Structure 1
Amino acid sequence: AVLRDVSDLRRSQHAVRTNHDTLRRRQHRAQTEHRMAVELQETVLPPWRDSLRLPSQGVGALDVAAHYLPSRSSSLIGGDWYDAMELPDGRTVLTVGDLTGHGIRATSAMAMLLGALRGMAVAGIEPGALMGHLNQLLESSVQPALGSAVCCRFEPSTGVLTWAQAGHPAPLLFRDGKGRPLLPPDGVLLGATSGVAYEQDEVHLLPGDVLVLHTDGLNRHSDRDAGPDALLALAPRFAQARTARECVRSVVTEFGGTERLDDACVLIARIGA
């Protein structure tokens, strides 16, 4: 008779089966959370994909288009948002923003913040004060996070754009084939500190101007530190474009095929005559 102790072998086999089961559960949970994050993001972000005219009637309307660009890893669904909406008084609100983190936690916080922003904008709250309220909301959240945002309100009858920002890249203004970032008013990251005041500024827009709002994930892998320079280099293309959608296509052509470390979005508004 030959006796052999197979206890170690059986323990190893059991450990392998346990690890496989744990891995499958983790993969299933990750896939479920990713699907929920994608569905929530698609539900919250505006449903329009083609150009949007705001307000729908009258002169001086904005031709608006936007696009969301995922990261190189499609599982990293973040808290980036863009939005454009017509207010009851005929003015238009444009906004983009970004929350830290990824997955369902980031997208649910983004949904909460964007919903609050829309409600306060409809109530007529000024962009600077609106940022202050968003800061308080994010600071008092059960799951605190940091975020950046820019909010613009456009008056079509006068061409005046009133805007505020919270630690976010400034909008880029393109005029006569040249582009420049707007001088940002003071504003810290959302959720960073309490009791801060957010300033706002005004700029007069002219027919044919192109306004670009974007999140800081919009860059190429090879020039992460280039800032807005790569976007400003698209000024000749924007000057030749006839619609905001054509401008967005130029951005997607330039940045869409790159491996970004983070997701990003861009919103472009072209001021009409």
Structure 2
Amino acid sequence: MPDDITAGRAVGFLLDLIDPADADRVRARVGLPRPAPEDLREARRRVPWELPRLPSAVVLWMLQEDDTELNAVLWRLLTERDTALRRAILEGVPFGPGRVLPVEVDPVLRDDYERPPVPGRVARLGLVAALRDSTTMAAARQSASMVYRHEHWRTIAAADRENSLPGYVRWTLAVRPDCPPSLRAQFGTHRKFAFRVRQAGVTTSPAEYALDHGPARDALKVLSRGHVIFPNRIAEAEDGLRPLVRDHLGGHEEAWAVLAQLLGTFHGTTAELVMTAGAIA
């Protein structure tokens, strides 16, 4: 049986991908009760205390919901390096594909938080010039904090095509959740650059994240809250995992017992965890 509530929920997420009758039998075998219905608002309120630091892609899927309440939850998950996203949330910048109308800002955020000041170097030089003048990571992050609207990204893409931006700037922007994929590709495909992007948790789809992001325990904890924090994309993750789970675990009780035991210490991806549990059983 998993050793905490969120780990139990992670196993439950995978169980929901198999036949319900088989899932009930497995739950009884591993000592995992069927989860009780929960209030969406209360579930969202607990998210900042339940989940590990979110990968870049997951932050993007949350932003794409364009949900006032969810943006307030995300605000609490952001760090000092996420100043640009905080600006975007406070200004109601929409992220959903095709959306142009601003997102209503949560009253608490609107009333209790001021927008971060414009960095002096950007006010003095202008955005593009400040980025070109960024010769350290600290300077790059400071200048890049003013890149958060669609028109900003278009300006950056044009400037980089004209003359490549400094490496620190390209790195800082490429790992951002809201960096357009076309611009990320434009920045380059060097091995070290690709590693940094992958390390930040940038993935092409929820299915790729579900299968290839590790450690499995953390990825499954995030996916198990997918219906709460990115409901419009979670089905893609489920569809990506479902064939693998049914083929390697199915209704095999011993395989699920092995998976529950491995979950806490397994360092590989979810796909590797599922295949390993099935092979051991």
Please say whether Structure 1 and Structure 2 have the same fold, judged by a TM-score greater than 0.5.
no
Normalising by structure 1, report the TM-score.
Answer: 0.22
Higher percent of residues as strand: 1
Q: If you compute each CA radius of gyration, which structure gives the higher value, 1 or 2?
A: 1
Normalising by structure 2, report the TM-score.
Answer: 0.22
Which has the higher relative contact order, 1 or 2, with Cα contacts under 8 A spaced 6 or more apart? 2
